[in-house]
A and B are shown apart, each in its own frame.
Chain A
Amino acid sequence: MSELPPGIKLEKEDDKIMTLNVGPQHPGSGHMRIIVKIDGDYIVSCDPDPGYVHRGEEKMAEYRNYITNIPHLERPVIHDSCNILYPYCLGVEEILGLEVPERAKYIRVIASELNRCVYTLYWLAIYGIFLGHSTMFMWPTGDRELLIDLLEKLSGARVTHAYFIPGGVRNDMPANFEDVCIRQINYFEKRIKQYDSIFYSNPILKSRTIKTGVLAQQDAISLGATGSVLRASGVDFDVRKKEPYDVYDNLDFQSNTLKSGDSYARSKIPWLDMLESCRIIRNALEKIPKSGSVRVKLKPNPKAGNVETYKRVESGRGSLGMYIISNGKPEPYRVKISVGSFRNLICLPYLLKGEKLGNMPAVYWSLNYWPVEADR
């Protein structure tokens, strides 16, 4: 070694490896950073670094009473605001001992399914543009307006609805809502079936996503994946089926499962869920009581005893649970939010290791991950 001329060093193993900071100022990262080390075109290691949009929702919840907590708790995921308020309302109803009217339960199911579709369309649009398919970005973004209009009729707001409250929903459905809803949902179902021909049957999309980022069934369980990621790996776990809340046990639907566990399956499960949501909404509109109250009367500053509760629902990104502890004061002692986004993100380093750099967006966004919700 000593015979080498001065200034020339032997190449080390590390010199071949290039570190890429994908994010936070990167069109393909979201509000986070992924530190990717690549050797040629292959990813050697991947280190997701979330936390750029941490807003301290859990701490904020400890300074507000049970009613004023509602508007800020939906902020982590404003596209899916009904579903993130759902476990909170279920929990507060249990610790305050409120009995929700039957009509309100059905309205909640309708609103939460509509909101799941709104979120999924937004997610699908970004998945499309991540793979370079600009039509798949524009179509879901346009069709999202159909459902947003329905939710605007229902709650008055386009995205941040604040529609669910402990003891029911804020207001009743407008007079002609059922007819408009059936009409829009029929059209929407027809539209999303067209996505299959332009996106899911596309040969280039199949060649890019099938057999990339395969998450085996046992790995999915041990890594704690949830929602569409878990069901794409062949584990039939849907909170709506396994632990039915409100009126989901009266409704006729099925949970979708695929066996392969690759990016293609993970991107197809939410699309199948949207078709299922249309079925649930139609079923709920048939079974809903035609009249009745939609909320129970609340005291101005309700207090609970020394109780604690854990409730979870199936959101657009998997199971979303809230653990609420009360110590007899008007404010909750602790609200712990457990979100599907963060639990799915844990799979990312395992899936990306050894993949090609070109597969990074296809695997990353197929995890059904929403950075703002993961940071809370």
Chain B
Amino acid sequence: MSIIAPRFRLGYFIKSLLDNVFWIIILLTLIGIPAIQVVLFFIDLPVIEGELLTPFLALTWLADPSRTLPIIKALMQTDFFKIAVFPGFGFAALLAAGTIFIERKLLAKLQLRVGPFYCGKLEGILQLMGDGLKLISKEIIIPAKADKPIFWAAPLLFVGAAAAFISLIPVSPGWVIADLDVGLLAFFAIIGFFPIITVLASWSANSKFPFIGGIRALHQMVSFEIPLILSLLGIVILTGTLNLSEIVESQSNFPWIIFMPIGAIVFFIAMLAELERIPFDLPEAESEIVAGWLTEFSGMMYGLVQLGSYLKLYAFAAIFVVLFLGGWNGPMIMPQFPQEIITEGIELGPISVTIPGLPLFTPEMINGTFWFTIKTIGVIFFILIPRGVFPRIRIDLLLHIGWYKLIGLAFVNIFISLSLLYSGVLGPGGMM
């Protein structure tokens, strides 16, 4: 065989790790510290506790945990942190980027290829960054006869709607941006936006292939929304609430997938169709309609739609975890942090170390995030696997599955949950 596949070697792996660390340190020292100095030099410096905050003092504070920790802790309680970093956009974007990387490597291994390998030295981990830079640097071409305001707005609306999902997802106890009492209803409401955005995007391009793709997407999304919503009614009947955090808390003893496997299967299949993943990717069927409703998007507009679709993938996987797999519930893996270390410090032979202030994260929060992330990655794995195994389905067969089979199975699921409720096995709030 003349195929030369690079083989995994531990030495190269460690060397590439060290290379990346080296460059991070170099760039931080050469750019980061001068940048902080410049900023501190120019801003209006406040007077704190009777002394003027000079740049030198500010840098001293950065190294003093007793001053920095309370500030960081206060920052973490703000809404801005929750929306931008955790459990909002930053966390979701990190998981979505990881999803793209895992998808490419996994598919490559399945198809006897190598996948991204060279970019970033470490098994192609920076490939996504390279792709993003390429998309940003490309020219944005808009069709001459397109309806330009709507055409421009469609990718932004798509990303915005996908990001709106993330505000509903409870990642760990207390860590959710919008803890709505009608969380599940809000989830259905956001799903309802996507057909409209897709049709706007495809129709405003004023081109034939996007139009056909948009109509297909409309058919697909609208007909799979019904089984998707029906499959979740069983959970609402048994928990008696629409609040996602309370639904997670109701699963502290057992996840709902044990009692409602049919509902989970229906929801999973409807989810694949809503996400336009293979085998239901016919709005983007390239051998028939070029790239479907994405055909006329170029440059970063295409990149935004892709970002939106991967955020949507993460959000649906997270909702599956929250509703069927018990969310943040799991065995405790974090040992309890001893209180005296915080108050009195720790003695290590000749030296004594003091960690004043409060710990940034509670053990419950770290444990919940860990279990939530592990379960979400597991569900994403099962969403990605069909791409290597199945061909694309046809539109009439797809609608047949949606209207004839999934809706019937969703009703079966509702009857199962009703019988569980009336026979007294389960009730609102868990086991009776």
* A interface residues (Cβ-Cβ under 8 A, vs B): 18, 20, 26-28, 41, 128-139, 142, 145-146, 149, 198, 202, 204-205, 207-208, 356-361
Contacts and interface: CB of A to CB of B under 8 A. Distances in A.
B396 A356 contact: yes
Given A133-B390, A356-B394, A356-B395, A142 B3 contact: yes
Contact of A18 (B208, B288, B390): B208
Q: Lowest 10 A-B CB distances belong to which pairs?
A: A132-B392, A28-B287, A138-B111, A133-B391, A361-B287, A131-B391, A358-B394, A130-B287, A27-B286, A132-B391
Contact of A134 (B111, B208, B212, B288): B111
Contacts of A208: 391-394, 397
A142 B109 CA distance: 13
Contacts of B290: 26-27
Contacts of B110: 135
A139 B109 CA distance: 11
A28 B111 contact: no
A24 to B, nearest CB: 13
Contacts of A357: 212, 288-289
B287 A204 contact: no
Contacts of A132: 278-279, 281, 285-287, 390-392
9 contacts: A28-B287, A129-B287, A131-B392, A132-B281, A132-B287, A133-B391, A146-B1, A149-B1, A358-B395
A359 B393 CA distance: 10
Contacts of A129: 287
Contacts of B184: none
Nearest to A357: B288
B284 to A, nearest CB: 9
In this complex, the interface size class of chain B, counting residues with CB under 8 Å from chain A, is 20 to 34
Given A130-B287, A132-B287, 17 more contacts: A128-B391, A131-B392, A132-B285, A136-B391, A138-B112, A139-B112, A146-B1, A149-B1, A202-B391, A204-B279, A205-B391, A208-B391, A208-B397, A357-B288, A358-B288, A358-B396, A361-B288
A59 B297 CA distance: 44
A207 B390 CA distance: 12
A358 B282 contact: yes
B107 interface: yes
B389 interface: yes
Contacts of B282: 358
From DSSP, what is the main secondary structure of chain A's interface residues?
Answer: helix
A149 B389 contact: no
A27 B111 CA distance: 21
Contacts of A131: 287, 391-392
A18 B392 CA distance: 24
B137 interface: no
B294 to A, nearest CB: 13
B281 A207 contact: no
Nearest to B396: A356
B427 interface: no
A60 B3 CA distance: 37
B113 interface: yes
B286 to A, nearest CB: 5
A27 B391 CA distance: 17
A220 B27 CA distance: 70
Contacts of A205: 391
Interface string B384-407: 000111111111110000000000
Interface string B193-215: 00000000000000011001000
Given A129-B287, A145-B1, A207-B397, A135 B392 contact: no
Contacts of A128: 391
Given A18-B208, A358-B282, A139 B287 contact: no
Contacts of B352: none
Contacts of A134: 107, 111, 387-388
Interface string B112-151: 1100000000000000000000000000000000000000
B2 interface: yes
Contacts of B389: 135, 198, 202
Contacts of A133: 390-392
A27 B290 CA distance: 6
Interface string B352-396: 000000000000000000000000000000000001111111111
Interface in B331-364: none
B205 to A, nearest CB: 15
Given A132-B279, A134-B111, A204-B279, A359 B388 contact: no
Contact of A138 (B1, B113, B287, B387): B113
Contacts of A202: 389-391
A20, A133, A146 pick with most chain B CB within 10 angstroms? A133
A18 B212 CA distance: 10
A27 B292 CA distance: 12
Contacts of B113: 138, 142
A358 B1 CA distance: 38
Contacts of A142: 3, 111-113
A159 to B, nearest CB: 13
A142 B287 CA distance: 22
Interface in B252-284: 278-279, 281-282
B111 A135 contact: yes
A360 B395 CA distance: 13
Nearest to A40: B215
A360 B288 contact: yes
Nearest to A360: B288
A133 B110 CA distance: 12
A20 B208 CA distance: 7
Contacts of B289: 357
Contacts of A27: 286-287, 290
Contacts of B396: 41, 356, 358
Contact of B285 (A137, A149, A204, A358): A358
A361 B395 CA distance: 14
Nearest to B284: A132
Interface in B289-348: 289-290
Contacts of B397: 207-208
Nearest to B278: A132
B275 to A, nearest CB: 15
Contacts of B208: 18, 20
A136 to B, nearest CB: 8
Contacts of B2: 145, 149
A361 B111 CA distance: 22
A293 to B, nearest CB: 31
A73 B53 CA distance: 83
B220 to A, nearest CB: 12
A79 to B, nearest CB: 17
B388 A135 contact: yes
Nearest to B285: A132
A89 to B, nearest CB: 28
B281 to A, nearest CB: 7
Nearest to B393: A204
Contacts of A207: 393-394, 397
A202 B392 CA distance: 11
